[in-house]
Structures are given as structure tokens and as C-alpha cells.
Homo-oligomer: A and B are copies of this chain.
Amino acid sequence: MPTVEELGERRIIELFLERFRRTSEMAVPFGDDVAAITLNKETVAVLKTDVLVGTTDIPPTMTLRQAARKAVVMNISDFAAKGVKPRAVLVAVTIPRDYTTKEIEEIGEGLNAGAEEYDTYIIGGDTGEGVDLTICCMVFGVAKREALILRSGARRGDILAVTGLFGKTSAGLKILMEGHVTPPDIRDILVKSVYQPKARLREGLALAKTGVVTSSIDSSDGLAICLHELKKNSGIGLDVTNVPIALEARKFAEIHGLDPEALALYGGEEYELVLTFKPEGWRNAVKAVEEVGGDLIAIGNVVEGTEVTQRKGNVVEPIPLRGWEHFKKHV
């Protein structure tokens, strides 16, 4: 019988979902960035949970404060993708027996820092003894049903865009986990993207107000996987005209003889938003994001078909469904 390592996260989730009965009050289908349930005709409660596991998700050199902050930020990022303001956070932590007061304090500070940065609060939780540190956050918010941006709304002719450049986190993880020696100025930026990820909440909230976003996803599973998710959920094709590669990732790739596009496409743990826009609303969208101090970078188009492709001059190549999946190794 296959083990979880062979099954992979997607199949495990399917096995669960096959066993869960459904309610008609679900306002967002399974598999989107958040869950939601009907409060009344116009309003839905939005809920999200994501768990950070010590041994598998926290690089050895990351501090507990950084890890705890990240556990909050990665949940906020899903709210950013849906354009929903987080109203409250709950936290369940399992703590190894040998942790001391200092380590508990660091975790507490990190959790609060993550919440405070995004103008929200931790209002409850649970602690238990664990073999490993796990930090499970849950975020709650309220949204107008009509305003929720799902993964399923992209239409042919829409513009495909992202809120930032990619590849820094992949490079940073290579430095931390595989020991790639890199000049300090670049190294600091790359490593910081691992230690101090930011959720694009201001951007997501500003974009939700414009009404011109047709679909959205947070990029934590890696850019290529997210493009495939948008494609699948919206039933369209995506054609990428320029892969958004961060300058530092490009330099890192050059130094180590790596493919910069691969760093940008097949990474993970990067918290940008990947979105599609009605073409006539594009300028409004750019303006809205700039007003909150962010960037919106067009990277391609929504096209007919069922493929995710990359255009290089006259050549069109497929972007494979590849990246980080829990339980499986990088494939």
C-alpha cells in the first residue's frame, strides 16, 4: 500500500475530501486559498488554516521568532489573495518538552509580530506537548460574497500579472540548506526572503476594491504550480511572455551556473499574488497597487486551451506542473 511519501499532498487531500460530506452553505469550493461559509445573503465568513512543522518547514538557522511570525504570515497571504481583511487569528502550538522559557517567549513574540504587521490580533488558541514543534494558525475574516476573488474567474483575453519578482526564496533556501556560497550583499537579500516573508495584503485589499481582478492565488506552492492551479480552476490556458525573475535570483543563478527561470518558476514559500485582470481594468489595477506602495507586473495572457506555456520569441514551450509538494521531494 502506498505511503504518504508516494501519495503526495494532493492525493492525501483527495482521500480526505472523498470522505467529507458537503454543505450547501460553503461559499468557496474546496481547494481554493481559503474556506468560506454563508453568514447571510450578502456576507460570508472566511476561514483559513495552515500549519508550520518544525522539522520539515523550518530551516535550521531560522529563529523561532521568525518561524512563528512566518506561521502567521503564510495564512495572511491566502487572505491577501482573496482580497479579505483578516479580523482575528487563533494559534495551536505543539511544543517539545525540552523547550525553555526563552523559546516560548520567542514563539509568542513572533506570533504577535506576524499578526500586528497585518493589523490583526491573536484572540485564542491551544498548546500541547509535541515530539516536534508545530504552529497551526487559523485566520478569520468577513467578506461580501460578491467581492471574494476565487481561482476560477480567469477568462480568455485577461492579463496575467504578479505582485513581485520570483526566485529569491529558492535561492535563499539553496544557500541555507545546500550551502551555496554567495557574496554577502546578495546573500543577505536572498536569505531575508526566507526568514522574513511578507504577505501582499495591502495589494490584495486594494485590488479587491477595483473590481477588475478575475482570479487570484497566493504563490506559496511555487509560480508554476500556481499557474497550473489558476488554469485548472478557471478552465483556460495561460501564456507567459516573461518569467518574473528577481535581480538577485538572476545573479545567484549566474554565480552558481543555475537556470534563473527554474529558480523563479519551480520554487515555493514565496508569498506573491498571481492574478488575472480584465484588460480594460488593468490601468486601474496598476494605479491601485501603486497607491499602496506595491508593484503589479504583467507576465502574460489568458488564452484558449488547457496549457500553461512560455513564449520565447517565436517558440512556445510548456511550463510543466512542477515545484514543491509536501510529502514528496522536489520533483
Q: Is the CB of A123 within 8 A of B16?
A: no
Q: Closest Cβ of chain B: how far from A21's Cβ, in Å? A: 6
Q: Closest Cβ of chain B: how far from A75's Cβ, in Å? A: 9
User: How far apart are the CA atoms of A271 and B194 in the complex, in Å?
Assistant: 42
User: How far apart are the CA atoms of A91 and B12 in the complex, in Å?
Assistant: 13
Interface hub of A30, A90, A94 (most chain B Cβ within 10 A): A94
Q: Is the CB of B53 within 8 A of A128?
A: yes
Q: Closest Cβ of chain B: how far from A239's Cβ, in Å? A: 31
Given A5-B97, A88-B37, A130-B132, verify A20-B326 contact (CB < 8 Å).
Answer: no
- For chain A, which range describes its interface: under 10, 10 to 19, 20 to 34, or 35 or more residues? 35 or more
Q: Is the CB of A125 within 8 A of B49?
A: yes
Given A49-B91, A126-B49, verify A99-B132 contact (CB < 8 Å).
Answer: no
Residue interface mask A88-107, B partner, CB < 8 A = 1: 10111111111111101101
Q: Is the CB of B124 within 8 A of A30?
A: yes
A34 within 8 A of B: yes
How many monomers of this chain does the complex have? Answer: 2
Indicate which residue in B16, B56, B97, B109 contacts A327 across the interface (CB closer than 8 Å). B97
A18 within 8 A of B: yes
The interface residues of chain B lying within 8 Å CB-to-CB of A112 are 19-21
Q: Is the CB of A56 within 8 A of B130?
A: yes
Q: Closest Cβ of chain B: how far from A62's Cβ, in Å? A: 16
A314 within 8 A of B: no
The interface residues of chain B lying within 8 Å CB-to-CB of A2 are 100-101
B-facing residues in A112-136 (Cβ within 8 Å)? 112, 115-116, 121-132, 134, 136
B-facing residues in A4-60 (Cβ within 8 Å)? 4-5, 7, 9, 12-13, 15-23, 25-26, 30, 34-37, 39, 45, 47-57
Q: Is the CB of A45 within 8 A of B140?
A: yes
User: How far apart are the CA atoms of A12 and B94 in the complex, in Å?
Assistant: 11
The interface residues of chain B lying within 8 Å CB-to-CB of A7 are 101, 104
Given A49-B138, A97-B5, A131-B131, verify A88-B35 contact (CB < 8 Å).
Answer: yes
User: How far apart are the CA atoms of A1 and B18 in the complex, in Å?
Assistant: 48
The interface residues of chain B lying within 8 Å CB-to-CB of A26 are 121, 123
Indicate which residue in B4, B57, B100, B127 contacts A97 across the interface (CB closer than 8 Å). B4
A87 within 8 A of B: yes
Given A7-B101, A49-B138, verify A122-B39 contact (CB < 8 Å).
Answer: no
A264 within 8 A of B: no
User: Residue on B with the closest CB to A10?
Assistant: B127
Listed by A's residue number, 16 A-B pairs whose Cβ atoms lie within 8 Å are A1-B101, A20-B108, A25-B121, A26-B123, A45-B45, A47-B90, A49-B90, A49-B91, A49-B92, A51-B93, A51-B136, A52-B128, A53-B128, A94-B134, A130-B132, A136-B136
In the complex, the 5 A-B pairs of residues with the closest C-beta atoms, listed nearest first: A35-B124, A19-B108, A51-B92, A131-B132, A1-B100
Contacts A35-B125, A130-B134 known; list 4 others, CB within 8 Å.
Answer: A4-B104, A17-B108, A35-B90, A47-B138
